[in-house]
Amino acid sequence: MKLFRHGPRGSERPGILDLSVTRRDLSEVLGDLADGQLAPDRLAQLKHLDLSNLPVVSESERLGPCVANVRNFIAVGLNFVDHAVESGLDVPLEPVLFNKAPSCIIGPNDDVFIPEGSMKTDWEVELAVVIGSPAYRVDLKDAASKIAGYCVCHDVSERSYQMERGGQWMKGKGCPTFGPLGPWLVTPDDIEDVQSLSMWLSVNGERMQTGNTSKMIFGVCELVAYISQFMRLEPGDVITTGTPAGVGLGRSPPRYLMPGDIVELGIEGLGSQRQIVRASMSGNNLI
């Protein structure tokens, strides 16, 4: 199934794509794509719905982030060898973890704002995992059962905040609008092999990143099991799993996002995103 959320910011409602790829509203049968509604058995019930009876959602209506009430937005760094090399960093022996602020999450086609004074805002296409069931210290063999679905994540990153200001990477990862999610939350049964999906990102029509999830150092289930050793994962938590080579930091000379740039990105089977990059004059124009 491909699920989504639609409507104005802060008032999104759940939806589903039918077999003809028509958008249908789910709010009569599902409160939202959040919390206990993401449990695998709850989502499985949606398969038995007669979608033809559900209201049609206009193609022109805004798509919101494909999951709501995210408590933990966890990111994995350097999870592709080629990206570690272009960043000038060692290939990790264990997953590198950091946080993105849940407040940075936006819809897949919402504007991305460059923080005031930023000169090094960068792009990263990533596969994100949405947790559906509580997971604490789970075994690798049980990790897949904890996953509600997958989506595209744009891990927007401010490199000077991340790498030149001391401390942890989260400084450059959680600015407002730095976490577009969606368009779809795709359930695992709709993906033949999550470790064999092509990935891409373009800026102003120029291809910057081309990769495949088969090149991840640590696979999806390995990451869920690993992270659950250190914290209790809750339904609605998001894990974004790393990016392939081709980020602005790795170019010679480096290239970063500027106001007016158009970023387009996608992952095979999970849909695509499109954002216009804007200058942020103050925090007040982000809402």
pLDDT of residue 254: 96
Is the model's pLDDT at 19 over the cut of 60?
yes
- pLDDT 10s digits, 192-243: 999 999 999 999 999 999 999 999 999 999 999 999 999 999 999 999 999 9
Dihedral sign for Cα atoms in the order 163, 180, 227, 144: negative
Is the model's pLDDT at 286 over the cut of 70?
no
Q: Which two tokens stand for residue 107?
A: 């819809």
pLDDT of residue 285: 54
User: Which element (helix H / strand E) includes 159?
Assistant: helix 159-163
Is the model's pLDDT at 281 over the cut of 80?
no
Local confidence band at 95 (pLDDT 50, 70, 90 cut-offs): very high
The Cα 14–Cα 28 span in angstroms is 9
Is the model's pLDDT at 54 over the cut of 70?
yes
Question: For the whole model, what pTM was predicted?
Answer: 0.95
Distances from the Cα of 282 to the Cα of 118, 145, 239, angstroms: 12, 43, 29
Query: Can you tell me whether residue 222 is helix, strand or coil?
Result: helix
The Cα 137–Cα 135 span in angstroms is 7
